Amino acid sequence: MGYAKSSIKLSEIMNYIETLAPRELQEGYDNSGLILGNPNTGVARVLVCLDVCLDALETAISKDCQLIVSHHPAIFKAIKVFTEDTREGELLVKAVTNHLAIYSAHTNFDSAAGGLTDLLCKKLGLKDTGVIQKNLYANSEGGFGRYGTVDAIQGKNFIKMLKMTLSLPAVRLVGYVPESISKVAVYNGAYDRGILNDLKTLKPDVLVTGDLKYHDAQELAENSLFTIDAGHYGTEKIFAEEMSALLKSEFPHLGVLPYEGADIFTFA
């Protein structure tokens, strides 16, 4: 991939991302936005990733990037100690030493209209989509979770399609696989049991989600809600590819490197 020598101000990239996913859409517990760096910094190359892991950071450094755009914030909770003895400290010290800025678009990009959940629905071929839980913010068309339809497909074939489309070696299933699937609910990342009543009303043929806890899975099964747990990574790894495409379209002269990484879980 060829990279441009000219640079764009970090603030321009931030402003563009925040037109897609306004920061006020993020949840109260979240830490989206500029995590590290100066908005006036010039950026010629950016690495886009799901998680700011050590390998992603070292890849950004080796490719002479000035910015990392991640989905999951590099700092999620307040840290009292900023040393290399902690995972966060090691990452941030390395980023500062190598003049790397870090920007994260998390729950605001999940819930935004046209954001990560919608992009996942598009990848799975959903039509006539709607929002499961609308955002409480004024003038927001987004929210958490989506539902939509696909052309009727055998349940076992839907599972195969999902695994192939998202390049997943395995998924977890809850409940009985339906004969036919046409109505699909999607909740990327970690499942939130707060949508259970919405799901009971919607009655989807399948829920596609990730990070299911045992007792939440029991609730879904008891309510005859067939669920595919495709994993947190599995339902969100498309962030690197999709955000890279958006940035490249908006800033044609910006060098953009998608970093997909790998699932922390392996399957025996």
Under the banding of pLDDT at 50, 70 and 90, the label for residue 5 is low
CA distance 14 to 108: 13
Q: Give the closest residue to 224 by CA, choosing from 246, 195, 196.
A: 196
**Predicted pLDDT of residue 201:** 98
* CB-CB contact of 20 with 109 (8 Å): yes
User: What confidence tens digit (pLDDT) does each residue in 37-77 have?
Assistant: 999 999 999 999 999 999 999 999 999 999 999 999 999 88
| Cβ count near 236 (within 10 Å) | 22
Is the pLDDT at 219 greater than 50, yes or no? yes
CA 1, distance to chain mean position in Å, is 24
Give the model confidence (pLDDT) of 7-46 as tens digits. 899 999 999 999 999 999 999 899 999 999 999 999 999 9
Q: Which two tokens stand for residue 60?
A: 């950004």
Res. 138: pLDDT tops 60 = no
Q: Give the pLDDT of residue 2.
A: 42
Beta strand pairing call for 101-104 and 33-36? antiparallel
Domains of the chain: 8-107+237-259 (3.40.1390.30), 110-235 (3.40.1390.30)
What percent of the chain has pLDDT above 70? Answer: 97
What separation, in Å, do the N-terminal and C-terminal C-alpha atoms of the chain show?
35
Provide φ and ψ at 227, rounded to 5°.
-130, 140
Looking at residues 80-94, what average pLDDT do you find? 83
Task: Tell me: pLDDT of 121 over 60.
Answer: yes
Tell me the whole-structure pTM to 2 decimals.
0.94
Q: Which of the pair, 83 or 58, is modelled with greater confidence?
A: 58
Q: Is 185:145 a contact under the CB 8 Å cutoff?
A: yes
Condensed to tens digits (0 to 9), the pLDDT of residues 170-216 reads 999 999 999 999 999 999 999 999 999 999 999 999 999 999 999 99
Q: Is residue 80 over pLDDT 80?
A: no
Quick one: pLDDT at residue 7? 86
**Res 79 pLDDT > 80:** no
Beta pairing partners, 259:
49
Q: What is the pLDDT of residue 86?
A: 82
What pLDDT was estimated at residue 98?
96
- DSSP codes of every residue in the chain: ----SS-EEHHHHHHHHHHHS-GGGS-TT---EEEES-TT-EESEEEEESS--HHHHHHHHHTT-SEEEESS-S--S--S--STTSHHHHHHHHHHHTT-EEEE--HHHHHSTTSHHHHHHHHTT-EEEEEEEE-SSTT---EEEEEEEEEEEEHHHHHHHHHHHTT-S--EEESPPPSEEEEEEE--SS--GGGHHHHHHH--SEEEES---HHHHHHHHHTT--EEE--HHHHHTHHHHHHHHHHHHH-TTSEEEEE----S----
Tell me: pLDDT of 3 over 50.
Answer: no
Q: Say yes or no to pLDDT of 267 above 90.
A: no
Q: In what order do the strands lie in the sheet with 33-36?
A: 33-36, 101-104, 67-70, 45-49, 255-259
Residue 1 — pLDDT band, cuts 50, 70, 90?
A: very low
Average of per-residue pLDDT across 143-164? 98
pLDDT at residue number 141: 81
Task: Report the share of the chain in percent with pLDDT over 90.
Answer: 86
Instruction: Give the pLDDT band (50/70/90) at residue 4.
Output: very low
Backbone angles phi, psi at 134, to 5 degrees: -70, 150
